[in-house]
């Protein structure tokens, strides 16, 4: 599989990058590490006219430990996040998620946190070669009218399998999106469209520049299940945040399940079962994990190489493991 032809653009600073995005819009794609983009291009899933490289934008690679939050530039390598003491202390779920992304070589040399958040939704029926897809009718994500993951579905049911997005949503993270003439802040929970074809609520001329993780008095954890220990996507994952008072009563909880829907699932109903309960109440943890499984099951489809029954059962297990670890 070869890359299709394109024009390579190498801006030297953020302003040049935003100018190029404003000029080329939908005809351009951003290249950070390329671990998602280049594979999709080789499979014929994308054929952008322009590739805009972020290679020279060192200004987007940083981790800032501020009084009320941790700020991370989107070009920051995954390895830097794993090694960050502030992340390990205040955002353990992100630390654990980043340890699972790709492999050590990818974490050091290619993978970036921005790229992981912005990796396109995946589907076993879609993320295949040109040759494979040419032997059948096109699906919704490929410009057709069929969803092979869910019979008679009127929309694409591709799945968000980002480890980083699931952990960051559990942590209540926010994003900074920059355009040529504007900048805006958006909560990660509001960044997803739940549209499998166009999963992100951002314009083609916008660039994701920063992630902000609020510091809390709580603890977080991330658990995931995949077929391989490295270079694999999760078939189900969960991020959890718990905050307690001086008497070890839970005052705030967030439960997010990933790799089960078109976006990470923020499960408010399941999390509400934990509020006011003791931090060591194992029965309540079980109830919350079961509720998370019930909520996530409605979004599950046959598109990540595992049965629905197994994945739904593992939602409960991943949430329960994260809660027990905290």
Query: What domains does the chain contain, in order, with CATH numbers?
Result: 1-56 (3.30.43.10), 61-118+159-325 (3.30.465.10)
Instruction: Identify the pLDDT of residue 237.
Output: 97
Instruction: Identify the pLDDT of residue 34.
Output: 84
| CA 150 to chain CA mean position, Å | 22
DSSP for 50-68, please give it.
EEEE-TT-GGG--EEE-SS
Location of structure tokens 């790709």: 102
For residues 325 and 238, give the distance between their C-alpha atoms in angstroms, rounded to a whole number.
Answer: 12
Tokens of 268: 């408010």
CB 171 within 8 A of CB 155: no
Per-residue pLDDT of the chain (326 residues; tens, 9 = 90+): 789 999 999 999 999 999 999 999 999 999 998 889 999 999 999 999 999 999 999 999 999 999 999 999 999 999 999 999 999 999 999 999 999 998 777 777 778 999 999 999 999 999 999 899 999 999 999 999 999 999 889 999 999 999 999 999 999 999 999 999 999 999 999 999 999 999 999 999 999 999 999 999 999 999 999 998 888 899 999 999 999 998 999 999 999 999 999 999 999 999 999 999 999 999 999 999 999 999 999 999 989 888 889 999 999 999 999 999 99
262 half-sphere exposure, CB direction, 13 A CA radius:
18
Helices marked H in the chain: 14-24, 37-42, 78-83, 85-90, 92-100, 104-109, 113-117, 130-134, 163-170, 268-272, 282-297, 308-325
CB 4 within 8 A of CB 44: yes
Instruction: Identify the pLDDT of residue 128.
Output: 94
CA end-to-end span of the chain: 45
For residues 283 and 278, give the distance between their C-alpha atoms in angstroms, rounded to a whole number.
Answer: 10
CB 113 within 8 A of CB 164: yes
Instruction: Identify the pLDDT of residue 2.
Output: 85
For residues 254 and 216, give the distance between their C-alpha atoms in angstroms, rounded to a whole number.
Answer: 12
CA-to-CA dists, residue 238 to 13, 144, 246, angstroms: 36, 32, 26
């Amino acid at each position: 599989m070869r890359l299709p032809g394109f024009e390579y653009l190498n801006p030297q600073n953020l302003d040049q990058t935003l100018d190029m995005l404003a000029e080329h819009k939908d005809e351009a794609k951003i290249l950070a590490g390329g671990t998602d983009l280049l594979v999709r291009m080789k499979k014929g899933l994308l054929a952008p006219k322009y590739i805009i490289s972020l290679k020279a934008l060192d200004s987007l690679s940083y981790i800032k430990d501020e009084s009320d939050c941790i700020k991370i530039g989107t070009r920051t390598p995954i390895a830097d996040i794993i090694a960050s003491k502030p992340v390990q202390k205040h955002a353990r779920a992100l630390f654990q998620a980043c340890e699972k992304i790709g492999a050590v070589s990818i974490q050091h040399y290619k993978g970036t946190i921005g790229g992981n958040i912005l990796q396109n939704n995946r589907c076993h029926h879609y993320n295949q070669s040109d040759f494979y897809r040419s032997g059948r009718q096109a699906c919704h994500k490929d410009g057709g009218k069929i969803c092979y993951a869910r019979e008679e579905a009127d929309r694409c049911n591709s799945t968000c399998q980002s480890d980083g997005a699931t952990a960051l949503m559990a942590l209540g993270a926010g994003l900074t999106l920059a355009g040529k003439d504007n900048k805006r802040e958006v909560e990660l929970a509001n960044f997803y469209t739940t549209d499998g074809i166009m999963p992100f609520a951002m314009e083609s001329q916008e660039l994701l520049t920063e992630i902000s993780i609020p510091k809390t008095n709580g603890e977080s954890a991330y658990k995931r299940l995949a077929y391989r220990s490295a270079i694999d996507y999760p078939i189900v994952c969960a991020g959890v945040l718990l905050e307690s008072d001086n008497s070890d009563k839970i005052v705030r909880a967030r439960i997010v399940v990933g790799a089960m829907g078109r976006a990470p699932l923020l499960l408010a109903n399941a999390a509400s079962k934990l509020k006011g309960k003791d931090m060591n109440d194992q029965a309540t943890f079980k109830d919350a994990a079961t509720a998370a499984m019930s909520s996530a099951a409605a979004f599950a489809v046959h598109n990540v190489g595992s049965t629905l029954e197994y994945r739904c059962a593992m939602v409960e297990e991943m949430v329960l493991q994260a809660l027990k670890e905290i």
